[in-house]
Each structure stands twice: as C-alpha cells, then as structure tokens.
Amino acid sequence: MKKIYFDNAATTRVKDKVVESMLPYFTEIYGNPSSVHGIGRDAKRALDTQRAAIAEMLGAKPREIFFTASGSEADNWAIKGVAGANAKKGKHIITSSIEHHAVLHTCKFLEGRGYEVTYLPVDSYGKVSVKDLEDAIRKDTILITIMHANNEIGTIQPIAEIGEIAKSKKIPFHTDAVQTVGTIPVNVNDLNVDMLSLSGHKIHAPKGIGVLYARSGRVGDNLLHGGAQESNKRAGTENIPYIVGLSTAMQMALENMELNTTRTKAMRDDIISFVMKNIDYVRLNGHPVDRLPGNVNISFEFVEGESLLLMLDMKGICASSGSACTSGSLDPSHVLLATGLTHEIAHGSVRFSLSDENTNEEVKYLKEVLPGILKTLRNISPLYNERKVR
C-alpha cells in the first residue's frame, strides 16, 4: 500500500538533494575542522561557509550561529545558559503554557533549582496575549521564552511585538522557531529576538542537527564543556555532513517558500473546509488565520485519537494525535487543554501536518476515507449514540 505521510510536524523525509550534498563530507572531506592538515582545513572551510550561509538566511552574523545536536538542545542551552549566567540578577522566567516540552520541562527543572517561572495562558486559539506578557514582567525577570509557532495546533505567536517589549525592558528574549524556520519567513531582526532555536529534521534535513542563534554571540553558560569548538561555547567535534545538509535544506526551503506556502496552504484549507462541511461534531484547533501553512488539527467528538490514527494507518495515512493513549501519559495534550478543550474533546484530536512533498491526490484520498472511518468508530462509541442532538 502506498503510504501517505501527513506527519511532517513530527519529522520530514530527508530530500534527495540534501543527502547528495552531505555525502562527500562522510567519505572525502571527513576531516576534523580543528586539525591543522589539509583534510581538516577543508572541513573547516565547509564549516565556515555553511555557518555564514545559515547566518545570512536568518539575518544574523556568522559568529551568532551555534550548531547543536537538536532543537531540544538549543532550547535547553538557551534557557539554562541565560538562567545560569544571570542568577545573581534575578531568577524569574516568563514562558507560555503551550511550549514544547524541551522548553517546559527545562523550566520545570529550573523551578527545582530555585527559579520562578510564569506560564502565560493562551486564548482559545492558542495565542499568548501581549498585554499578559507585559504585566508578567518583573524587576527580576531574566528571560522571556515564547515559541514562534506551536507544533500541535500551528498557532503563530506575535513574536515581533513581544520582542519589542523585551527589548524596551532589556530582557533577553528567546524563541523556539523549530516549526517556522523554512516554513514561514524568519529573520532574527524582524522578529526582535535575542536567541532562536531551530532544527534540521523538520525541514527535510536529517535528525541530529540544530542551531542556537544568539545575538552578539551571547549564550550565557555552556551546556556542554570540553573542546574549543563553537567559540569555546559548545564542545564536541562539529558534525560537518549534517551542517551541510541543514544548510542545503534551508536554502531549498527559502528558494521555494512562496510556492510551497501557497500549495501547502491550499491543501490545508481543503482538508479543513471538507471536514467542517461533511463531518458533524468537529472542532478546528488553533488559530484560523495565524497558523502554519501545513497544520490541520481537528477534534472529532465521541472518538478516541489513537483508534482514529490506527484506522488511518490501515488505509496508509500517517498522522498524529494529542490523545492520552498516544502520549504514554493519562492526560491528553497540554496544548489542547491550555486552549480550553475538555479532556473528552482533546482525546479525539488528530493532527495532519503537510509539507511541500504532499499532493492534491493524497488530500483527495484522505477526504475519501476519513468520513467512513469516523462513521465506523462513532458506531462503536456509546457517546455518539447517546449524544444530545444539537
């Protein structure tokens, strides 16, 4: 059976061109950039070139780009680094209640180390209020970290506006842009951010490569200690092939962004409007307009997400869910609950995340099979049979 991959917010297929660009750096230019000899110098040259290219794509300077092994590492480093370096100044951090766990659990960790964290609420669309954020700022606030767009519901936050406030109060501002770099325009100056995390595998580069951008190269404390790599800030031999792959993937994403956005948005809106029109008892999660071009997140009442995912999988369609049964915990997604969804409705949520590699034929197939799957599961469900007709 042909597989249809609608889970691009989880990870993406590495593009053939990206793989091609990486290959010479495994077998030919395999040197350690710290070595003095020719093969090492060739690797160093590649590292410098790609760092400059990535910096330029983000509106940054090369010395502001630090390579990491993942988006999670970049988030951890940004938060722990600033917290550690500013402990004497203050111990208050502001974040939102719908951050990725790489941010949330890092904040929780710091709470255990004597830091205070404000978790800003979001509205029913998953948006942070700029006013709430302004009100939460204290004299001892040392960091604001708010994600650019949410991985589950796709809501895009008013980052530039928040950055404006952070700048005026001189508080370092970090954003987790793992879902946005390569998908929507990201320029560190337009967004007024001091730090930004990104990840390769969400944009058709391999897993295991990320970047922390830090304005003027200020990253606070090291997360990894050891060699002098990354201006003495992040130890570990640089992963040249993956850095090359990330750079290629970013270039491809940027070159095709307008076309990709138009195509992906059209498929996204096609799925959303089809479901709204043809399936009853559904709810669109996330913001109707300020949303990632490839994000569809819908709650189907009276059914449970894991069942829905498995039925879709039997038809060859890959998606994901915010239900508890797929999370390994008893609670459904913290993001959906933060938008005010009840547990019941959050259990029946499904995310379809599209990329430029999806096609209209795939969307058409989804529209063909989805109503039947819902009908089957709702026939089994006592809740659908006992529903109060609205």
Single-letter amino acid, residue 310: L
Q: 210: burial class by Cβ within 10 Å (0-12, 13-18, 19+)?
A: buried
Asked if 375 is part of the footprint of other proteins (rule: CB under 8 A), the reply reads no
- Identify which of residues 161 and 280 has a Cβ nearer to other proteins in the complex: 280
Sign of CA dihedral 127, 129, 130, 133: negative
Binder of other proteins out of 151, 157, 192, 349 (CB under 8 A): 151
Asked if 324 is part of the footprint of other proteins (rule: CB under 8 A), the reply reads yes
User: Of the ranges 40-48, 115-123, 155-163, 299-307, which one interacts with other proteins (CB under 8 A)?
Assistant: 299-307
Binder of other proteins out of 44, 91, 100, 263 (CB under 8 A): 100
Of 19, 130, 254, 325, the catalytic one is 325
Q: 20: burial class by Cβ within 10 Å (0-12, 13-18, 19+)?
A: exposed
Helix (H) or strand (E) holding 299: strand 295-300
Asked if 312 is part of the footprint of other proteins (rule: CB under 8 A), the reply reads no
Asked if 97 is part of the footprint of other proteins (rule: CB under 8 A), the reply reads no
Active site residue 325: yes
CA angle, corner 193, sides to 259 and 63, nearest 5?
90
Asked if 357 is part of the footprint of other proteins (rule: CB under 8 A), the reply reads no
Asked if 137 is part of the footprint of other proteins (rule: CB under 8 A), the reply reads no
Strand partners, 291: 155
CB 354, min distance to other proteins, A? 13
- Identify which of residues 245 and 332 has a Cβ nearer to other proteins in the complex: 332
Residue 166 CB partners (closer than 8 Å, separation 6+): 144, 172, 173, 192, 194
Helix (H) or strand (E) holding 142: strand 141-145
Give Dmax (Cα) for the chain: 76
Asked if 234 is part of the footprint of other proteins (rule: CB under 8 A), the reply reads no
Asked if 177 is part of the footprint of other proteins (rule: CB under 8 A), the reply reads no
User: Of the ranges 168-176, 207-215, 253-261, 376-384, which one interacts with other proteins (CB under 8 A)?
Assistant: 376-384
CB 10, min distance to other proteins, A? 5
